[in-house]
Every structure is written in C-alpha cells, then in structure tokens.
Homo-oligomer: A and B are copies of this chain.
Amino acid sequence: MEKCKIIFQPEGKRGEFPPGTTILDAAREIGVDIEAICGGKLTCGKCQVVIEQGEENLSQMTEDERRLLDKRKAGKNYRLACVTRFYGDVVVFVPEESRGGEQIILKEGVEVSVTIDPAVKKYYLELPKPHLKDDLGDFERILNALREDYGIENVDIDYEVLKKLPDVLRESDWKVTVTIWNDREIIDVEPGYKAENVYGLAVDIGTTTVVGYLTDLRTGKILAIDSMMNPQVPYGEDVMSRITYAMQNPEGLEVLNKKIVEGINQILVNVCKEAGIKPEEVSEVTIVGNTAMHHIFLKIDPQYLAVAPYVPAIHRSHDVKARDIGIKIAKGGNVHVLPIEAGWVGADNVAVLIATEPYKRDEMCLVIDIGTNGEIVLGNRERLLSCSAAAGPALEGAHIKHGMRAATGAIERIRIDPETFEPEYKTIGNAPPRGICGSGIIDAAAELYRVGIVKKNGRFNLDLDTPRVRVVDGQPEYVIAWANETAIGHDIVITQKDIREIQLAKGAMCAGAHILMKEMGVESVDRVIVAGAFGNYIDKISALIIGLVPDVPVDRIESVGNAAGVGARLALISREKRREANEIARKVEHIKLAVHPDFEREFSMAMYFPHMDKKRYPRHEEVLKVRGAE
C-alpha cells in the first residue's frame, strides 16, 4: 500500500503513514506534542492545527468539527488533528496554543520558567457499553480505554474511587473523566467531560502565617488565595514552644495537628468558594513548611527535632492520601509534602530554593527567607550552604505592640522627616490604619534609626523635640498615627520593646548570613534574594539600612515575596520541580547555627543597626543618602 507523507512544522518532523491515518495519531507516532485532552472525542477542541499544504488530501470537515473550531479559525485552513485523516501528502503547522507541555513563567515576585507537567492529569473517556458478549469489569473497561485512547498502561485504582466507579459509570452513560496521579493510580472518576478542570492547592505552613493558593494545574494560574494566622499560635508562638507543648501534653501533638488540618480545610473551603468550585474537585495538595510544621502536619512526634542531633523522621518528599490526614479534597487525592533538608531546615526552604534556583546560577547568591523560623541559603551551582535562624515572629507582626498581618488597614510603608520627625505612611487599601504589618515594621525601624530617634544600639533618643517621641509606663515609644487618624481609636506606636524584637529578628538572620559567608569563604555576595510570607514585599533599602541583609549594592537585592508559596505551586504543576526539590534537599550542606562556635558573637554584633562591625557595611552612608534623596 502506498504511504502518505506528513511534515509537522515548525519542528520539521516527518513520517510516512497509511492513507486514512489521523493527523493526531501520526503526530504521536513521530513524537510531535499536540494537546488533545479529550482523547479525540470531539469535546475539547484543543488540537487545532493549520494545514499548510495538501488540504485536498484530507477527510471532509464534519459539522461537529466545525462547531469546535474557533469562529475566527473556521475556514482558515484550521482543522482538528484528532479527527482529520490524510489520504495524500500534507504539511501541518502546529500553533503554539495547540502544543502540549507548555512552558510558563511564574512572575509573582520571582520569575521562574517551568514546563507544565503536574502529577495529576485528567483524561476523558467514552467507554463502550457492556453487553452479554462484552461483560468486562468496570475497571478493566477503563484500563482498555486508557490504553487505546491515550497509550496509558499499568495504572492502579484508589479504593475510594473503585467504590464509586460502578455508579458513576452508569449514571454518566459511560462518559467519564478519570484523574490519574503520577501515571500510576486513578484517584478520581467524574461523570462527563471534566478534563479541563484540574485543580490543586499549594499550602505554605508558616509558624505564624498559613497561606493557600488554589491553582489551575493546566495553566499554573492562581485562582484564589487565602491566608490565616496559624491556628497553632495559641499553643506556642515559636517552633520550640510548640514542640514543648506537644511533648508536655498527652494529647499535645493531636491538638496541634488537628488545628493545622482544620485550618487548611478552612482555607480550602474559602478558596474554592471564591473560585466557584467544590473542595472535592481539588485533586492534590502540596505542603511546604519548616521541619516542625512538617512533622506536626504529618502527626509525627516532633520532639527529636528539638534535641541533638536534631534528626527528622524523613528527609525526602512524601505522598500521603489526603484522607489519611483528614484534608478534604477528592477522596482519592494525595498530599505531597516537599522534602526537608535537615532537622532545622525544612520543606519551606526547599520550596524557596526551587523558586529562586540559586543552584542554577554562577553568582554567589544569598537567599533569605524571613519568617518566625528564618532560613538562609548561600551558594551557587557549585555548592550550597544553609542554616536556620530563630528570628521570632516580629517581622510577621507578632510580638509587636501594634503589629498585624498584611490586611486592609495595615501600615505597610513608613517614611519619617529627618527635620520634623513627622511620619508619612501608607496603608493597605488606603484605609484608616489598624496596625503595622511586616514591611511597615522594617520601614519603621529603618526610618527611626535613620533620623536618629533610635540609636544604633537600638535605644530611643529621648532628647529630641517632638511630641511623637514619649515615654509611657517607663517605656519610650514613637507615635506613627494619632488616635483620631486610626480605625482603632488609639495611637499606633512603635515601642522600645518592639525595636528590641526587631533587633533580635534581624540579628539572628544577619548573623546566620555572615556565618554562612564565613563557612563558604567569601567576604561578599553577588546577589541577595529576600523572601517571606508577610504578605507584602519588604523595602530593600530599609532592609539594607537596618542590616537585615549583608552589604550589597541596592540593585543586587531582590525582594520576592512568598517564594516558599511559589515553590509549593511549582511542585503542584511540575514533576521536574519535585525531582529538583529532592535533589537539592540532599545537596544542601546544613550548618547548625545553635552549636556554631561563632554564633553568639555574631548574633550580638548583628543586633546593632546596621552592624557593630562597621567594616562589613562599607556602603552604609551611601544607602542612607539614597533613602534621603527619595
């Protein structure tokens, strides 16, 4: 039999096939990636291609095909690859939007390029109905269709899905969408065509703040975000006190675990409501968090994390049925917990790494993830060092008299006039102020220090002639907003104690950074990436002024927002990123700050603004001038 030539552009791949082959089958055989999520069932219309030559050699267009082609495209040599057969030589162009494995660039804070390849994928099937001569079992019927329509073999089925399978098949008249996890297991079956509705939830469990991102797994787009105070906070504000709570109370771990699971379920309900879908339509959850949050979420006793040699129960990523943990997504769905690096450097840091990719760079990068348990990584493609610093929750707005989460009415930006000491501030949503969020707290410290209200050792200067600086109950404070300007009916202030909390936080982070630099044998870094889950990007110059980061030119600092959350989302949409996470988690060398001989000294020096050792901040005067000239 004579064969027909087909050439696919722009790749130029070609092959020969028997007359009557569909364009899609030819593409698959040659290895040209054309998206066809309905499996050639004339439902999705994704496989539109342009016929460049040989239109006369094609099967006739049917009404169904014409209906699915965009109006703009119908009549313009566009055809659907799944149903169009060729009976002579043809040249076919595959447009960008019809190509599978789309490359996308996430651009929230960090810019990271990734090929969409989620662990969870959906496939639409139209099954032959059984009859007396074809009494194959329901599951085997699905396996046959998966093999025939999509070339998928060797998949298992989750028990919860098997239970509902017979009813769903018959109620949907044998037209269903199956969800497959990791090419390995059917984790859902839904009636009808749902192949374009693929959702995941990325969760960043911070010690103080929990954020969830409902994500479209086919595009990587965020459909809704929700955040909340970590509901474990009442049981201990930092990691150590929660571990202590878990150890000292017979039901301690139980309680903490229940709180975070309920919290995530609440976020799940909120984001789904906002996006107009049902929680059980969410197919997978990714989780990042520090080691203690990781263990408590998994209901693993965290006590051994708190004592030398600080050994976690598991390093690598782990998949658990959501139902075994109590997360209420699809019954067969999984929770993917990202890997952790060491006893004190957790999955949140791994997530920051896969979002910021220092291991792909030549320049020496310092990645600082500010949080109650701050995590720091220094390195490049050659070597990576990490440590974690108990910074406390000050920069997330906790332990600060008028601190608050980044929400409407939070003061997020402050400038103080060096002559009059009068402030200017900006609130989220431009609402009357209710408190100060993380970026505002860093701004406040930087400005109070810059204008001389706070000295480099952190003490208030009480000799200034301004009503904004005062002493209440023996404690100095600075009034940012008078009561009549606010939404809360009293003055919003930054106190001496607040400044101390900020010093502790920035001192811990800064000391960690300098110890890593010493361990790496470098005196400066090429780039600083500042991440953090406090809702808003921090001001780079303020960060430099107080010495939260080492001395670098301002344009070498990137403030990337919640990179841990970005990492969690990347793990949702890219299996390559999951592999990268496991590799990087093994590769990073972890420095234990708590037992490092230099830590105490570095910490006490780093408490100063910007640092007790002025030589380490040669650009400091220049930075102050830049701010003054703003």
Question: Whole-angstrom distance between the alpha carbons of A340 and B165 in the complex?
Answer: 17
Within the complex, which residue of B136, B165, B312 is in contact with A315, where a contact is CB–CB below 8 Å? B136
- The reply to whether A166 and B132 form a contact with Cβ atoms under 8 Å apart is no
* A403 → B minimal CB distance (Å): 34
Closest B residue to A131 by beta carbon equals B309
Q: Mark A292-312, 1 if CB is under 8 A from B, else 0.
A: 000000111101100011111
- The reply to whether A314 and B132 form a contact with Cβ atoms under 8 Å apart is no
- Tell me which residues across on chain B come within 8 A of A308, comparing CB atoms: 132
- Tell me which residues across on chain B come within 8 A of A343, comparing CB atoms: 135
Closest B residue to A160 by beta carbon equals B324
Q: Mark A307-343, 1 if CB is under 8 A from B, else 0.
A: 0111111111010110011000000000000001011
- The reply to whether B132 and A299 form a contact with Cβ atoms under 8 Å apart is no
- The reply to whether B139 and A315 form a contact with Cβ atoms under 8 Å apart is yes
Within the complex, which residue of B159, B162, B163, B314 is in contact with A140, where a contact is CB–CB below 8 Å? B314
- The reply to whether B311 and A162 form a contact with Cβ atoms under 8 Å apart is no
Within the complex, which residue of B130, B167, B313, B595 is in contact with A311, where a contact is CB–CB below 8 Å? B130
Q: How many residues belonging to A are interface residues under a CB distance threshold of 8 Å?
A: 45
* A560 → B minimal CB distance (Å): 29
- The reply to whether B136 and A311 form a contact with Cβ atoms under 8 Å apart is yes
Is A134 close to B, CB under 8 A? yes
* A130 → B minimal CB distance (Å): 5
Is A170 close to B, CB under 8 A? yes
- Tell me which residues across on chain B come within 8 A of A137, comparing CB atoms: 311-316, 340
- Tell me which residues across on chain B come within 8 A of A313, comparing CB atoms: 137-139, 162, 165-166
Question: Whole-angstrom distance between the alpha carbons of A311 and B127 in the complex?
Answer: 14
Within the complex, which residue of B132, B170, B303, B320 is in contact with A309, where a contact is CB–CB below 8 Å? B132
- Tell me which residues across on chain B come within 8 A of A312, comparing CB atoms: 137-138
- The reply to whether A159 and B320 form a contact with Cβ atoms under 8 Å apart is yes
Within the complex, which residue of B131, B159, B315, B592 is in contact with A132, where a contact is CB–CB below 8 Å? B592
Question: Whole-angstrom distance between the alpha carbons of A324 and B299 in the complex?
Answer: 18
Is A24 close to B, CB under 8 A? no
Question: Whole-angstrom distance between the alpha carbons of A204 and B272 in the complex?
Answer: 45
Q: Mark A164-179, 1 if CB is under 8 A from B, else 0.
A: 0111001000000000
Is A6 close to B, CB under 8 A? no
- Tell me which residues across on chain B come within 8 A of A310, comparing CB atoms: 135
Is A481 close to B, CB under 8 A? no
Within the complex, which residue of B131, B135, B595 is in contact with A342, where a contact is CB–CB below 8 Å? B135
- Tell me which residues across on chain B come within 8 A of A340, comparing CB atoms: 137
Question: Whole-angstrom distance between the alpha carbons of A130 and B342 in the complex?
Answer: 13
Whether A132 contacts B595 in the complex (CB less than 8 A), given A311-B137, A315-B137, comes out as: yes
Is A36 close to B, CB under 8 A? no
Closest B residue to A325 by beta carbon equals B159
- The reply to whether B304 and A166 form a contact with Cβ atoms under 8 Å apart is yes
- Tell me which residues across on chain B come within 8 A of A508, comparing CB atoms: none
- Tell me which residues across on chain B come within 8 A of A325, comparing CB atoms: 159
- Tell me which residues across on chain B come within 8 A of A27, comparing CB atoms: none
Question: Whole-angstrom distance between the alpha carbons of A340 and B159 in the complex?
Answer: 17
Is A157 close to B, CB under 8 A? yes
- The reply to whether B167 and A316 form a contact with Cβ atoms under 8 Å apart is no
- The reply to whether A309 and B163 form a contact with Cβ atoms under 8 Å apart is no
List CB contacts (< 8 Å) of A101-139 with chain B. Answer: 130-132, 134-139
Closest B residue to A318 by beta carbon equals B162
Question: Whole-angstrom distance between the alpha carbons of A312 and B131 in the complex?
Answer: 12
Whether A299 contacts B163 in the complex (CB less than 8 A), given A308-B132, A592-B132, comes out as: yes
- The reply to whether A167 and B301 form a contact with Cβ atoms under 8 Å apart is yes
List CB contacts (< 8 Å) of A570-591 with chain B. Answer: 590
- Tell me which residues across on chain B come within 8 A of A311, comparing CB atoms: 130, 135-138, 166
Question: Whole-angstrom distance between the alpha carbons of A625 and B302 in the complex?
Answer: 79
* A322 → B minimal CB distance (Å): 11
- Tell me which residues across on chain B come within 8 A of A138, comparing CB atoms: 311-314
Question: Whole-angstrom distance between the alpha carbons of A325 and B162 in the complex?
Answer: 13
- Tell me which residues across on chain B come within 8 A of A590, comparing CB atoms: 135
Question: Whole-angstrom distance between the alpha carbons of A20 and B169 in the complex?
Answer: 63
Question: Whole-angstrom distance between the alpha carbons of A170 and B304 in the complex?
Answer: 10
- Tell me which residues across on chain B come within 8 A of A314, comparing CB atoms: 137-140, 157, 162, 165
Question: Whole-angstrom distance between the alpha carbons of A321 and B321 in the complex?
Answer: 11
Question: Whole-angstrom distance between the alpha carbons of A547 and B526 in the complex?
Answer: 93
- The reply to whether B316 and A140 form a contact with Cβ atoms under 8 Å apart is yes
Within the complex, which residue of B136, B140, B163, B301 is in contact with A300, where a contact is CB–CB below 8 Å? B163
- Tell me which residues across on chain B come within 8 A of A131, comparing CB atoms: 309
- The reply to whether A309 and B134 form a contact with Cβ atoms under 8 Å apart is yes
- Tell me which residues across on chain B come within 8 A of A301, comparing CB atoms: 163, 166-167
Question: Whole-angstrom distance between the alpha carbons of A324 and B313 in the complex?
Answer: 24
- Tell me which residues across on chain B come within 8 A of A130, comparing CB atoms: 309, 311
List CB contacts (< 8 Å) of A193-219 with chain B. Answer: none
Question: Whole-angstrom distance between the alpha carbons of A324 and B160 in the complex?
Answer: 9
Q: List 7 A-B contacts (CB under 8 A).
A: A131-B309, A132-B595, A137-B315, A163-B299, A166-B300, A166-B301, A167-B301
Extra A-B contacts (4), CB below 8 Å, given A138-B314, A162-B318: A135-B310, A135-B342, A135-B590, A137-B315
